[in-house]
Amino acid sequence: MVNLANRVPYASQKGDPTPSRADIEMTKEIIKAGKRLGIAVHDHIIVGLKGYASMKGLLLI
């Protein structure tokens, strides 16, 4: 048995790490695809010039 998990890093093009609606929807699709493959996604972290945002920390996933 193999246990796979992943965190999704992303560098913001605009420098603002606040997740957009598109970021949130894309993350939900990645989570769905991961479930089908048996891969858990624990977080999606967006890195920008002003810091970072964790979708898990923001309770978005």
Instruction: Sort 35 into a burial class: Cβ within 10 Å, 0-12 / 13-18 / 19+.
Output: exposed
Helix, strand, or coil (residue 4): strand
Give the mean model confidence (pLDDT) for residues 43-61.
89
Does residue 35 form part of some domain? yes
Whether 55 contacts 61, CB under 8 Å:
yes
Nearest to 23 by CA among 33, 13, 34: 13
Does residue 44 form part of some domain? yes
Range of the domain at 44: 4-54
Q: What is the CATH number of the domain that holds 12?
A: 3.40.140.10
The whole model's pTM is what?
0.72
* 16-45: pLDDT as tens digits: 888 989 889 999 998 999 999 888 888 888
Does residue 30 form part of some domain? yes
Domain count, the chain: 1
Phi, psi of 59 (to 5 degrees): 60, 35
Whether 39 contacts 4, CB under 8 Å:
yes
* 1-20: pLDDT as tens digits: 445 556 566 666 678 888 98
